Amino acid sequence: MTTLKKGDAAPLFSGKDQDGNVHTLADYKGKKLVVFFYPKANTPGCTAEACDLRDNYARFEAQNYALLGVSADSAKAQASFKNKYEFPFPLLADEDKSVIQAFGVWGPKKFMGKEYDGIHRTTFVINEAGVIDDVITEVKTKAHAAQILP
């Protein structure tokens, strides 16, 4: 599972968002970047998490943060999710799981007694130099911004 830790260089990812725009780590040089991975768009926990980040977006911007959501959903599903809740940040449609694998958040999970492979809800806070400042694995979906912002 997540082998990346505080102090590691962030993976040099590249992925397309809900509109087909490509995002890379280099695009965010000079900004702090929050990359949050969530299992599935439009599910209760993922919606609560993304809405909490949306509701605190001005606070993130004021502190030079950019936000980027990532799941394995299709671009169409991500666009629907983004538009429905009016998220001001892009959502990567990582259907080939290249970004998910690069960050090491794909692996075995358990739900209601069943084991399966899936995305582990994890958030990475990357500083202006591309170094990971924090890895949050115990995400509080309804109060996630408070876990990130000082």
pLDDT confidence of residue 3: 83
Catalytic residue among 33, 34, 41, 46: 46
Strands 114-119 and 122-126: unpaired
Q: Which domains does the chain show, CATH number per domain?
A: 14-141 (3.40.30.10)
As a whole number of angstroms, the distance between CA 81 and CA 42 comes to 6
What are the pLDDT tens digits along the chain (150 aa)?
A: 668 999 999 999 999 999 999 999 999 999 999 999 999 999 999 999 999 999 999 999 999 999 999 999 999 999 999 999 999 999 999 999 999 999 999 999 988 899 999 999 999 999 999 999 999 999 999 999 999 998
pLDDT confidence of residue 146: 98
51 classed as catalytic = no
Strands (E), 5-121: 14-16, 22-24, 32-37, 65-71, 91-93, 106-111, 114-119
The distance of Cα 72 from the centroid of its chain, to the nearest Å, equals 11
Q: What is the pTM of this model?
A: 0.96
